[in-house]
A and B are shown apart, each in its own frame.
Chain A
Amino acid sequence: MTALPMEAEILTRREESPGLFTLHLRLTDSAAQQAYRFRPGQFNMLYLYGVGEVPISIVSDPREARHIGHTIRAVGRVTRGLERLRPGDRLGLRGPFGNGWPLGDCEQRDVIVVTGGLGCAPVTGAVQYLMRRRERFGHVNIVQGVKHADDLLWREQYECWDRMPDTTVLIAADEAGPLWPWHVGRVTDLFDRLRFDPAQAIVLCCGPEGMMLAVAEQLQERGIAAERIWLSLERNMQCGIGLCGHCQLGPKFVCRDGPVFSWREIAPLLRVRGR
């Protein structure tokens, strides 16, 4: 049986942009709080009392697992309800679920992080992990694409990462005004400016599926092996533990076997429409 949710309290709430907000949560039971650990790229099922549950990736730093950060877009019944919660309010939390990013495999390698839209949220924790242990990795490329320039989240954070040694930050917007300092177009337009050794580089990618397909194909063409291109997928998830069946993609349970998969493993499944 699905384990009971744990009660969590909202510590802080920040409005990122209209309809997009970040909650920092703390489990109210101190033993649960002590026991809770997660890896970047994992997710929790958040339960809104009387409404339902949604899978939301964890954006915060795994070193401070007592404060669990979630950036949420208000799009459905549950997330619109979560949007109305304020500090001190309670919700339920089950997790963490899923495998997370292969950050151990990133050591001594050039890293390319490519994200699209809110796809940057599941990778934010991973980028912070890399930056905090900067010396263990090769050149770090951070590429973020948004539809509209106004959609860019955490602008200061990108500017901060851009100042780190041996780090390249590239940002693209499909549509932008005249004051937009970065590229207008797609993230894949920026790939000539990446700095990496294809023989050893590793890719972490998250965003809309069409964008991830294009990114994976183009970086593979640039010589990166398919088993070192990692994508974080989304599917309908209700249990989080590979039982309810909704997240199946071919033989994979995305919630349990993923959500992070290598391109080698997942390309044949992703290339079939409506799979």
Chain B
Amino acid sequence: MATDCTLVAELRFLAAADRQRLIEALREAGYAVHGPRVQEGVIRYAPVERIEDLPRGWRDIQEPGRYRLRQTDENRLFAWAAPAASLKPLVFPPREILFHARRDADGRLRFEAADGAAPKLAVLGVRACDLAGLYLQDRHFLQGAHPDEAYRRRRRKLFLVAVHCAHPADTCFCAATGDGPVARYGFDLAISELEEGWLLEARSHAGQEILDALPTRAAGETQRKAAEAAFRQAAAAQRRRLPGGDLPARLGGRLDAELWQAVGRRCLACGNCTAVCPSCFCHAHVEETPLTGARTTRLRQWDSCFTAGHSLLHGRPVREDTASRYRQWLTHKLSGWHEQYGRSGCSGCGRCITWCPEGIDITAEAAAIAGEEA
């Protein structure tokens, strides 16, 4: 199935020399600006002040169990695929205070909510796979009977600048999940990057206001065609895909497959995949008590279904071996999410493949277990 890579009619062109103006416009509108930066050998979102902070000319190489960067003399800022972390840490921090408790001299307890302030935050360079991941997090944290207030506060302050992706990695499969490479929803402003500059499109009022503040001109038809061709190529270049058909039903019929044992022997149960996954939401509640004991802090921190503690019941894990934990992770991602939130929990970012020390490939395992060749 050919992926639709057409762009909207209304595209504005911002010359490469003017790219700094976007950061300035966002700052003037009151946003702290985060963007991709090369730090500790990876590209990840971090505060940026100048356009020079962005990874100009950097390319990434992502393969099962491998992530490397190399520099080129290209003028592009976004010529790489999924950064090491998704948007998840920005809306669902790895560690966060739930409340403080105090006990006074006569034993009475008082509970205090954590500080609820959330700054306006703009993020540059968000891929379609991560917008889909954010949609999945929104479904989990916001749309139940008990919406998460801290998540909501941060989410409402988010301004997202998408980049339609022209540079998928070997591990990417967003075209197969239907989530990319062109972002279709969930952004304020989107960039199609060309060597000479950016084609910009606004998707929200906030995005339009920023766009109006930039020195743009109407994009040319040649520019649009070049961008669309690059996205079509990005879709066609992706070799991985998830098995087709009714995957939840197919996996549901294979819960006793011997292949779970085989992947369970390879899996180190390190939890890297759950940490980098844009949709994984599990978290543990933990208590921190200073020695004085007068005030304690209750926190939540990212947890992983690969740990024994995750399913602990009466002192024993329900899922005792790694095979059952891998099965939990994969079947939740590709099957459970459908019933819980109406779609697959996978947006094809490929991070779980890249960051797995063993290079375990979710697409290959799902295909093998569902009974088809990868």
A49 to B148, CA, bound (A): 23
A251 to B248, CA, bound (A): 11
Question: Are A244 and B335 in contact, with the CB atoms below 8 A?
Answer: no
Question: Are B313 and A248 in contact, with the CB atoms below 8 A?
Answer: no
Cross-chain contact of A75 among B101, B144, B314, B340 (Cβ < 8 A)? B314
A52 at the A/B interface (Cβ < 8 Å)? Answer: yes
Nearest to B288 among chain A residues (CB) is A50
Q: How large is the interface on B (under 10, 10 to 19, 20 to 34, 35 or more residues)?
A: 35 or more
The distance from the CB of B315 to the nearest CB of chain A, in whole angstroms, is 7
Given A1-B148, A7-B111, A272-B256: A245 and B282 interface contact (C-beta under 8 Å):
yes
Within 8 A of B (CB), among A223-275: 234-236, 238-239, 241-246, 248, 250-251, 253, 256, 268, 272-275
A58 to B270, CA, bound (A): 37
Given A50-B293, A248-B332, A275-B255: A242 and B111 interface contact (C-beta under 8 Å):
no
Binds A, one of B31-39, B46-54, B122-130, B303-311: B303-311
Q: Give per-residue flags for A81-112: 1 if the beta carbon is below 8 A from chain B beta carbons, else 0.
A: 00000001111100000000000000000000
Question: Are B287 and A50 in contact, with the CB atoms below 8 A?
Answer: yes
A160 at the A/B interface (Cβ < 8 Å)? Answer: no
B67 at the A/B interface (Cβ < 8 Å)? Answer: no
A50 to B291, CA, bound (A): 10
A76 at the A/B interface (Cβ < 8 Å)? Answer: yes
Question: Are A274 and B321 in contact, with the CB atoms below 8 A?
Answer: yes
Question: Are B148 and A243 in contact, with the CB atoms below 8 A?
Answer: yes
Q: In the assembled complex, which residues on chain A have CB atoms less than 8 Å from the CB atom of B293? A: 50
A272 to B255, CA, bound (A): 7
Q: Give per-residue flags for B51-82: 1 if the beta carbon is below 8 A from chain A beta carbons, else 0.
A: 00000000000000000000000000000000
Residues of B at the A interface (CB closer than 8 Å) are: 98-99, 101, 103, 107-114, 140-141, 144-146, 148-151, 252, 255-256, 281-287, 289, 293, 296, 298, 300, 303, 305, 310-315, 318-321, 324, 327-328, 331-332, 335-340
Residues of A at the B interface (CB closer than 8 Å) are: 1-7, 28, 47, 49-53, 75-76, 88-92, 234-236, 238-239, 241-246, 248, 250-251, 253, 256, 268, 272-275
